[in-house]
Amino acid sequence: MYKLKVEAYFSAAHNLRGYKGKCEELHGHNWKVEMVVASGNLDKIGMVADFKELKGLLNSALDKLDHKYLNNLSVFKKVNPTSENIAKYIYGQLRHKLPNLKLVTVWESENSSASYDEE
């Protein structure tokens, strides 16, 4: 199995409703997002996918989040904009464009991340 990973970044603010602690207050992160696609086969030139195309699709999904107050976006009106839910949202934005999408990981800090897949 071949696995490709691309990374991209976005910055946004959020607060966690119902959370008892600092994250209940408005704050922001510079999120790193990793996307993994996989395939057992290569195309005729020996690639699973073009990294440039993968990065373009990921960046397109992140453009909807970048420099936004996430709580104001319709997708996060009822669902808290946690790293877990952000990973699921990004996965959902990409899965129909990338049938070989395996995993989306959202890093809210250098040492804290959440991943989502549908396996």
Instruction: Locate the domains of the chain by residue range.
Output: 2-116
Q: Which pLDDT score, from 0 to 100, does residue 55 have? A: 98
pLDDT at 119: 79
Cα 109 to Cα 28, 43, 77, 94, 113: the distances in Å are 11, 36, 23, 23, 7
Interatomic CA distance for residues 34 and 107, integer angstroms: 8
State the CATH architecture for 2-116: 2-Layer Sandwich (3.30)
Spans of the chain, pLDDT less than 70: none
Catalytic residues: 23, 67, 108
Report pLDDT for 33: 98
| pTM across the whole model | 0.95
- What pLDDT does 51 receive? 98
3-class DSSP state for residue 91? helix
CB contact at 8 A, 114 and 82: yes
